Each structure stands twice: as structure tokens, then as C-alpha cells.
Amino acid sequence: MSTATEHTEHTDGHEAEHHGLSDMQYIKIALILAALTAIEVSTYYVDFGPFFMPTLFILMIIKFVIVASYFMHLKFDNKMFSYLFYSGLLLAIAVYCGFLATFKFFIQKG
Amino acid sequence: MAETAISHGHDVGHGAHSSTGMSNNKLGMWMFLGSECLLFGGLISTYMLYKGRVNEGPQPDQIFDIPFTSVSSFILLMSSLTMVLAVSAAQRKDERNMNLWLVITALLGATFVGGQVYEFTAFYREGLGFTTSLFGSSFYTLTGFHGVHVSVGIIMLMALVGMNRNKRIPGDRAEVVELVGLYWHFVDVVWIIIFTLVYLIPS
Amino acid sequence: MTIIDRPSTDVAVVGGAPTGVKPSEALGVFKRPTASTSWRDWVVTVDHKKLGIMYGVTAFFFFIVGGVEALLIRLQLIAPDGTVLNADQYNQMFTMHATTMVFLFVMPMAAAFANYFVPLQIGARDVAFPRLNAFGFWCFLFGGLFLNSSWFLGGGADGGWFMYAPNSSTLFSPSHGIDFWTLGLQITGIASLTGAINLIVTILNMRAPGMKMMRMPIFTWMILVTQFLLLFAIPVITVALFLLSFQRSFDATFFDVASGADPLLWQHLFWIFGHPEVYIMILPSFGIISEVLPVFSKKPLFGYPIVAMSGAAIGFVGWGVWAHHMFASGLGPVSVTVFSMATMAIAVPTGVKIVNWVMTMWGGKLTFTVPMLFAIALVVQFTIGGLSGVTHAVAPSDTQQTDTYYIVAHFHYVLFGGAVFGLFSGFYYWWPKMFRRQLSEGLGKWNFWLMVIGMNLTFGPMHILGLQGQPRRMGVWTEARAGEGFFNLGFWNQVASIGSFVLGIGVLMFLVNIVYTHKSKKIAIAPLDPWDGRTLEWMTHNPPQEHNFDTIPTVSHLDEFFHRKYETDATTHAVTQVHSAEEVMAELNAHPDEHIHMPSRSYWPILLALSLPVITYGLIYNRMLMAVGAAMTMLTMFGWSMEPSTSPDEDFDPPAPGEGGGHTKELSPLG
């Protein structure tokens, strides 16, 4: 749902500032993501002991950041997009962790 | 929705109509996604608070089918790859591949939603209704909201393909595809979180 | 220089009249609307100034609705054993009064000012997403009407404006009132969210050349902070409203204590939204008076960067204080301590602002015009309300005050004495800009003093009532239990009720003033720059042309307009006027931009917004209707996305010589 009133000369400008990765690189990143997912799922079959939760959390964050940085181009785009998006995300994490903390959510879990 | 009120005089150079050099549309989309973080955060927190409260209904780890959900999660993850390939093709003005990847993305998304529908019916047969317990209500609300987001994404993808066929995408086509792509990837990263917090970490 | 000297009647013609537009039939279902002179233009317009006026008129209508509800409440409490309302009606009345004032008056009225003045203040020709802007207005209008239609369909919501669950579940409130409330607020929430995205993009991206962030007027700064708060707060209330809707419509169990639900869930979600909401209501008014005080003190704002940054600080800390609304709910000592500290901390940036306003006036040449009076009243009344607010931060004291009239007194001092006075200051200050006439100062002073006296008479006694233990939302008091002497509850209730009618007359004076100003022959057209303004919005015609600026100004100072009019002597620091406002504008417009493309009118915003109440009525009454509404939404979104925001060039006929042709304004160079 968008229109831009740019003329063709502007589209040329866009072309010049086109950034991102090549298709081959995207596929490699997808393979990394697939591998990380495989490790995640393996926690269901293999006992990771005390490393269970940390492993899952770290993998989740890595996957999130990879998709946001490369597929969503945050790494290459204007930094303002990153600031806006991550401020929303961090605000959500902070507020809702505070919210769960008042329910003693984290204490129950030990 | 678009940039407007632009002076088209000859003095206007490239990108001079935006104080920061950012596209209005992309900026708007990123803010929408930032706002969506708070929406899904609220739903996820509600689920986290209520996941152990099952009444007489089934426990989460009694009904979750991890192998099945892993496969559907993987499908959604791969749809992000096909989406980024569509964006990349659109930026190269490679229309054939753009259409192809958009259709494949929509199909992968539809597979995911289909899997979710199957999963819901299976859970329902095992005794977890929407009103059975707090776990049931909050689980279906959270995953349902995500499913609706995926469905909206599928509609947008198909609309893009249809409009492109009739050469009717107004404005900068590569940017329109990129915007839909941003939305799609966001829905994917939300699932990355849900998959870990809801499915892989038992109650 | 004909642009300046053009007779005033011509300004209106320049503002509209896109004749000769040939809508493209290649795109969309409808032909593009082209009307501009008739009422139809208000339906299809995407002009930020028209939408601002529409926001303002609608919000003021709801202000009167909410005001009548308030007067009925006070009428009920004017005498012992009140019989004006029964208990059920009383519950609906205070719920709808608060809901209307918060969601349908203060927020959209701030949106009205933001819509009208932010693009002007940053030197833009329109907002970033004009159709989205129109869509936001229609969502607000239809959402508000939907919400209020509950009065005629079985009664309004009756759970109090924060609608605590499980008290708001069907068991305790079987009528449809709360369904209307949740769904209506969802619709107005869409308006707020789209408005937030739109205004943030506008402020970040569409500033005139040289308009750096730290050269933006403070009003624009405060709107920016407010919109960020909205952007992140609206989704939280959306979640809460969805949970409540699912509970009421689909028997979900979120707030069903029998199934083990936690009754604090709603309270937390509501106040995570609700506390930022408080700042969403007050910050725009802070912005308005930060414009008004310097103009009428003939001094620049004291500590501009500090005022801007303290606004941002309020916005940030505002996220960490929500549980101070819940001190009496048994949160536990750790939570109470943390939130108590945070609440005390947030008083600091607010206090900083008050110091800055006082220092702005200090040593200035004050002129006590009506906008200035309202601005000073805000500083005074808000400080009183702010101080009683600090007493809520002290948890033991708050436990005593929770749910008493003391709370009612506090938030009316900050909301009426703060937010509403700021908005009135804005009305008087910007009226000549919007409507070419200055509101009568004489009637304005009546308006002001009646409102100040009325507001203190109404809400002042509530401090006493509250500390004496009168619970908020109490529908009836009896002589037998009213107490004696100075602390007689009956006496102070009567004072408050009388005060509320004085307040009502004060607001009525504003309407009288509008009618008088525009009907009376004695009131002349206002000069171009009636107040000796400082910011860019005064560098346009009264009212501004559709495209705002013939030439987009290049900004080199904070308070750009002031610096174009005045020069400071480098050695003596004496400020002397070197140009009149007319000369500044003439210089600016000597070389107008060519080929200004304005966004084109569209049917889709109103149609898309219209489909939303169809869905929500369907949800309450008939699921088939809901499907119809959903289909309408899909179709209108499709139509919208097929329509370019600005019609392509081939849609415009070349302008006939001598007239502003269509959307493309060909301004022949005058120089």
C-alpha cells in the first residue's frame, strides 16, 4: 500500500544506493538459521542439563538478530530504523519483565 | 500512503524531500513494527503468566507435538529466505523471479497456517478448548494472533502478485515489495520467539 | 508581491478550487473526487488543516457531551439522597464522562492542534501520509459515535473508566455497554496509532531545509514525544481490550477468578497503557503554553533544550511508574517501593518545566491577553495538581487516598487545570491563524475567569471531601452521615456542584465568544501577525493556503520568524524590529516554488473507517453483519492500495491561464 511520487530519475538514485547481500549469501544465512533451529529442536531429544535454558535463549536471540540484521536489512540501512525498532523491542522487554516480576514470575521458577 | 506535497521544481535533487534521507514508507513501517513488539509482548506475557494454570485440562507438555511444530517453524523460517529473494529480485527489476519467489513465500506461509489449523484441531480433540483453562485461552489467543498476522501477510503477497501482473503497483515497486517483506520477516521473528518460549521451554 | 496584497476573500479561493482535474480511470474503482467547494470536500479531503479543524470540532462536540454528563453527576450530588440518577445510570454516567473526556476530547483535541500546526511549524506542505491522516480522523469520529451509541442501545459502559476486570465481565455487567466500550476504544485506538506513525514520520522527515531537531518549536517537540508514547502505549491497551472482548464475547477465561485467573492482570495491562496516557494528555498542552509564554513575555523560552529534553525524559520515565495506580492492591513491598521511587523521580522533569516557564516570564514585558492568562493559569493550577500528585507517590499516604475524592481532585487539577487550560490557550492563540479573526478579548476574559473560578470551586473542595473519606464514584450522600462543622460533606458537595455550573457557564462563554466574533461587525479581520509570533506557522496567510507555503523557507535559527523580523545589536544586545511580518512574507514568497503537487482527495479513508463499526456492531448483534464488515474492510483496503496518493501528472489538465489550476498549482514567478 504505497506510492511514491518519485520520478524515474529518483529510482535511478535508489538503484545506486541499493545495498544488501547477494542471493547466494542469503541462502548461506538461511542455512545457518536452519542449523541453529536444528540445535534448538535437539534440546527436546537430548538432555542439556543446566545449559538447557541458556542455550535456548541464546539461540533465540541469535536467530532474531540475524533475521533482523540481514533479511530485514537493518545492518545496511539507515541506523534510525534500528534505533526505532530496537527501542520498541527493548521497551517491550523491560516493561513486560517488570510486569511479570510483580507477579513474582521469576521467583517461582527459581 | 506515501510521500506527498513534494515540490517537483527543477531545484529538487535526489532525496531532497526527506530531511533525514529515509523513505517515509519504510520509516512508517519500522515504527509500526516497533509498536507491534508491545502487542506481541503483552500477549506473550499473558501466556507466560497463565501457562501453568490448566484447570482440569491438559498441560502444555502433554499436548505439544514438538516434531510437528518444528517442521512448521522451519517452513516459516524458510519463507523468510524466499521473501528476501523476492525483494532482491524486485530490486534487480527481475520480474519473473520476483513473482516466483512471492508466490513461493505465500505458499510456504499458507502451509504454516494450514499446519496451525491442523494443530489447533488436534489440540481441541485432546481436550484443550478455548474456554477450557487459562492456558487454553492464552495459548489460542497468542498463536491465533500470530496466525492472523501470517494470513494478512499472505493476502498482501498475493495482492502484490496480482497487482504486478496488471502493472498496477503504484509508486516504487521495489520499495513496496520491501515493505511487505519487512512485515513478513517481523512475523517470522515473532514466531522464533514464540517457538522457543511457548513450545521448547516446558511449563 | 501580489500574493501578500491579494484581497482577503481571494485567500479562500486559493485555498481550494481544484478545477479542471480529470481523474484517471486507469486506477481504482471510483473516479477520484474533485469537489472542493461543497460539503463533499470535507468528506474526501486529505488536507491536514481541514482535518485538524474536523478533529477540533468533533472533539469539542464530545467535550460538551462529557461536560453534560459531568453536570448530571454534580446535580445528583448537590443535595442529600439525590434522585436525579439511579445507581445504574450513575455508574454509566461517571464511566462515560471519563471515557469521553479522555479518549474523545483531550486526546483528539491535541491531535487537532498537532495536525494543523505541526506541518506549519516545521515548514512542510502536508503530513507524510495524508490519506492515513484522513483515515485516522474518520476512525476517531466513527469510534466515538459507536461508543456513544450505547446510550440508545441498552445503556453505556458502567465499570469505571479503567474498567477493572473481573468486575467488567458479563456476570457483573450483563448489558452491552462494556462491549461498546471495548470495541469503540479499539477503533479510536487505530486512529491514535495511525496518527502517531504519521506525525512522527512527518516531524522526522519533512522538516524544511535547516530545520534541525533543536530548531523545532517546542510544541512540535512535545507532539513528537506524545506520538512516541502513543505508538508504544496503544498496543498495550489493544491487548487488554482484546482479552476483555474475548472474555465477554467468546467466554475466554482471562479474568475468570474461578479458573485461577489473576485479577491484577487487567490492572497491570491497563495502567501500563494508562500512565503513559496521562502524559499523552498533558504534554501537548505543555507544548502549547511553551509557545504562548515566550510570545507574550517578549522573551525567548528559557532553557529551550532543557524544556525539550525534560519532555523526552517525562516520556521515558512515564513507562516505569504505572503501578502507583495499584498501591492498594497488595503488590508487595518491593514493587511498591520501586514504583514509589520512580513516581517521585518523574516529578523532577515536570518541575524543571515549571521553573523554565516561570523564568521565561521573569523580567519579560508581559501582556495579559487571554491566551497568556490561560497559560499562566496552567502553570499555577498544574503545580497544585502536581503537588497533590506527589503525595500519591508516597505509598502509605496513597493507601489512604486511593479511590477517594482526593484522587478526583488531583487528576482534575492536572487534567482540567493543566491539559484543558492549555488547549484553551491554544484556541485563543491560534484562532486568528485558523479563522482570520481574533476572538474577542472581553468575552475571552469572562470565559477565562469563570473557568478558573468554576474549576477551583468544583475541584478544590474535593481535596477536603477525599481526605474526609468520601469515596470516589459514590452516588448518594445522606445528611445523617455527612459530619459536622467545617468538614461537613454536604456543604462541600454543594460548593463543588455550584462550582461545576460556574465552570459550565465559563465553557459556554467560549461558544458565545465564537459566535460573537464571527457575527459581529465590530471585529475586524486580524492582522497577519497579531501576536508578534516567533515560529514558522505565522509566516503563512491567515488561514494558510492549501499548500501552506508558496516557498518553503530555509531555517537558520530557533524562532526563525522572530529572527527574520528582529535584529540584535552585537554590542548593546538591543533588539530592534527591522522588518514587519508582511515584509518577511513578501521576501519569502518573492520566488514561489513551481509545480507544487498536493496530495489528491480520496474516498477510501472514510470508506475504510466506515467498515470498522460495521464489524463491531456485527460482533455484538449479528455475526453475518460482521462478515459483511470484514468484506468491506478488505475491499476498501484493496481499493486504497490501488490508488496512488498523488494523482499522476496526466490526471491534471493544464491550468487555465489566470487560475490556480487543479492540484498542480502553477505559480507564475512574480519577481
- Report domain extents, chain A: 20-76, 78-110
DSSP letter string, C97-118: HHHIIIIIIIHHHHHHHHHHHH
Tell me what pLDDT residue C660 has: 38
CB–CB of C204 and B19 under 8 A?
yes
ipTM of the complex: 0.91
Residue C319: DSSP 8-state? G
From C330, which residue of chain A is nearest by alpha-carbon distance?
A102
Nearest C-alpha neighbor of C560 from the set C209, C75, C177: C209
Would you mind telling me the total number of residues written for chain C in this entry?
A: 671
| Interfacial B residues in 2-61 facing C (CB < 8 Å) | 2-10, 17-20, 22, 24, 27-28, 31-32, 34-36, 38-39, 42-43, 46, 49-50, 53, 55
* Residue B87 predicted with pLDDT over 80: yes
pLDDT band (50, 70, 90) for residue C669: very low
Please provide the DSSP assignment of C206-244 as one string. -PPTT--GGGS-HHHHHHHHHHHHHHHHHHHHHHHHHHH
Residue C631's pLDDT band (boundaries 50, 70, 90)? very high
Residue C655 is predicted with a pLDDT of: 41
Write the pLDDT tens digit of every residue in C480-516: 888 888 889 999 999 999 999 999 999 999 999 999 9
Are B153 and B105 spatial neighbours (Cβ–Cβ below 8 Å)? no
Chains in contact with C, where contact means 3 or more Cβ–Cβ distances below 8 Å, are A, B
3-state SS, chain B, equals CECCCCECCCCCCCCCCCCCCCCHHHHHHHHHHHHHHHHHHHHHHHHHHHCCCCCCCCCHHHHCCHHHHHHHHHHHHHHHHHHHHHHHHHHCCCHHHHHHHHHHHHHHHHHHHHHHHHHHHHHHHCCCCCCCCHHHHHHHHHHHHHHHHHHHHHHHHHHHHHHHHCCCCCCCHHHHHHHHHHHHHHHHHHHHHHHHHHHHCCC
Say how many Å lie between the first and final Cα of chain B, rounded.
44
pLDDT class of A104 with cuts at 50, 70, 90: confident
C145 close to C180: Cβ distance less than 8 angstroms:
no
pLDDT band at residue C354, thresholds of 50, 70 and 90? Answer: very high
Q: Is A43–B200 a contact, with Cβ atoms under 8 angstroms apart?
A: yes
Neighbouring chains to B with at least 3 Cβ pairs closer than 8 Å: A, C
* pLDDT tens-digit map of B133-151: 999 999 999 999 999 999 9
Residue C614: the pLDDT is: 96
Q: What percent of chain C has pLDDT over 70?
A: 90
Read off the pLDDT of each residue in C165-185 and give the average, rounded to a whole number. Answer: 93
Asked whether the predicted pLDDT for residue B11 surpasses 50, the reply is no
Residue C450: count of CB within 10 angstroms of its CB: 19
The reply to whether B25 falls in a domain is no
pLDDT recorded at residue B20: 81
Q: What is the mean pLDDT of residues A81-101?
A: 95
Determine which of C15-19, C55-59, C592-596 has the lowest per-residue pLDDT on average.
C15-19
C423-473 confidence digits (pLDDT tens): 999 999 999 999 999 999 999 999 999 999 999 999 999 999 999 989 999
| B131 contacts chain C (CB < 8 A) | yes
Short-list C248, C314, C328, CA closest to C278? C314
Closest-CA residue to C285 (of C189, C378, C191):
C378
- Put simply, whether A98 touches C (Cβ < 8 Å) is yes
Query: Cβ contacts of residue C443 below 8 Å, gap of 6+?
Result: C509, C512, C513, C516, C517
Instruction: Kindly give the pairing relationship between strand C596-597 and strand C664-665.
Output: antiparallel
Contact residues for C95 (Cβ-Cβ < 8 A; gap 6+): C156, C157, C158, C159, C160, C161, C163, C177, C181
For the segment C323-333, the average pLDDT, to the nearest whole number, is 91
CATH code for the domain of B143: 1.20.120.80
- Sign of CA pseudo-dihedral C408, C243, A64, B203: positive
**Residue B23 forms part of a structural domain:** no
User: In B, residues 60-119, which contact A (CB 8 Å cutoff)?
Assistant: 66-67, 70, 73-74, 77-78, 80-81, 83-85, 87-88, 91
Mean pLDDT score across all residues of chain B: 87
Helix (H) or strand (E) holding C576: strand C575-577
Q: Is the pLDDT of residue B94 over 90?
A: no
Q: CA angle C172-C411-C491, nearest 5°?
A: 85
> Within an 8 Å CB–CB cutoff, is residue C646 touching chain A?
yes
- Is A103 in contact with C332 (Cβ distance < 8 A)? no
Q: Do C261 and B50 touch (CB under 8 A)?
A: yes
Give me the domain span that covers residue B74. Answer: 32-200
Q: Is the pLDDT of residue C164 over 90?
A: yes
C206, C549, C591, best to mutate vs chain B, most B CBs in 10 Å: C206
Q: Give the separation between CA B39 and CA A77, rounded to whole angstroms.
A: 25
In a domain, residue B89? The reply is yes
A95 contacts C231? CB cut-off 8 A: no
Q: How many whole angstroms separate alpha carbon C473 and alpha carbon C310?
A: 35
In the prediction, which pLDDT does B162 show? 85
Greater pLDDT, C148 or A6: C148
The number of folded domains in chain B is 1
Least confident of B111-115, C139-143, C166-170: C166-170
Mutation pick from A72, A93, A106 vs chain B, by most beta carbons of B within 10 Å, is A72
Query: Smallest CA–CA separation between C133 and chain B, in Å?
Result: 10
C-beta atoms of B14 and A88 within 8 A: no
Judge whether B11 lies within some domain: no
